[in-house]
Amino acid sequence: MKEYALILVSTILVNNFVLVKFLGLCPFMGVSRKLETAAGMGLATTFVLTLSSICAYLSNAYLLAPLGLEYLRTITFILVIAVVVQFTEMVVHKTSPLLYQVLGIFLPLITTNCAVLGVALLNIQEQNDFIESGLYGFGAAIGFSLVLVLFAALRERIAVADVPVHFQGAAISLVTAGLMSLAFMGFSGLVRG
C-alpha cells in the first residue's frame, strides 16, 4: 500500500511530468490561457493517460515481451495511444454528450501529447506492474492537471498585470513557468524515486 502512495506523491509532486521532466509542454503553454480550458484539458488528459498507460502496459507484457519485440515499443505505444483516444472519444460522444462537450477538442489533441507516450515508456523503464502502471499514469495526469490549472490561474493574473513591453506574451509566460519549475524542485527529497 505504501509504495502505491509513494508512486502517487512521486509522480504528482516530486517528478512532476511538466515542471521536472519537461514533458507535455505544448498543452502546458497552449491551453493555459483560461482556467476553464485548462481544467477541461486536465480532465481529458487524466482520463486518457490512465487508460493508455494500462493499455500500453498490457500490450507490452502480453504481446511485445513474449515475442521478444521490445524494440517495437515506441511505434506500438503510439498506435495504442491513438486507438485509445479515438475509441474513448467515440464512446464518450455516444454515452455522455455532456462530458463530450466539456472535453471537446481536447480529447483528440491529447494523441500528440508527449507526456502520454512518455508515461507509457517510463512505465517499462521503471518495471512497474499492472496496478503500478495505472497509478503511475493517473498520478502523472493529476500532476499535469494540477500544474496546468495553477499555471492558468497565474496567467490570468499576468494578463491584467503591468508587464514590461519586452516581456509581454510568451516571454513572461516562460519566465513564470521557469519559476514554477524551480518551486517544484523544492519537492525533491520528499520521496526517493
Partner 1 sequence: MLTAIIALSALAGIFGLLLGFAAVQFRVEGDPVADQIDALLPQTQCGQCSYPGCRPYAEAIAAGEAEINQCPPGGEAGVRALAELLGREPIPLNAENGVEKPKALAVIDEATCIGCTLCIQACPVDAILGAPKLMHTIIAQECTGCELCIPPCPVDCISMVPVKETVENWKWPYPDAPAPLAATAERVESEQSSSPVAA
Question: Which residue ranges make up the site for partner 1 (CB under 8 A)?
Answer: 59, 63-64, 67-69, 72, 75-76, 79-80, 83, 86-87, 90-91, 93-95
Instruction: Return the number of the residue (121 or 149) whose C-beta is nearest partner 1.
Output: 121
Q: Residue 165, exposed/middle/buried by CB under 10 A (0-12, 13-18, 19+)?
A: exposed
Give min distance, CB of 19 to partner 1, in A: 33
Give min distance, CB of 82 to partner 1, in A: 8
Give min distance, CB of 143 to partner 1, in A: 29
Name the grid cell of 11: 509522480
Instruction: Return the number of the residue (12 or 56) whose C-beta is nearest partner 1.
Output: 56
CB 123 within 8 A of CB 52: no
Q: How far apart are CA 44 and CA 107, in angstroms?
A: 6
Instruction: Return the number of the residue (21 or 93) whose C-beta is nearest partner 1.
Output: 93
Cβ count within 10 A of residue 111: 18
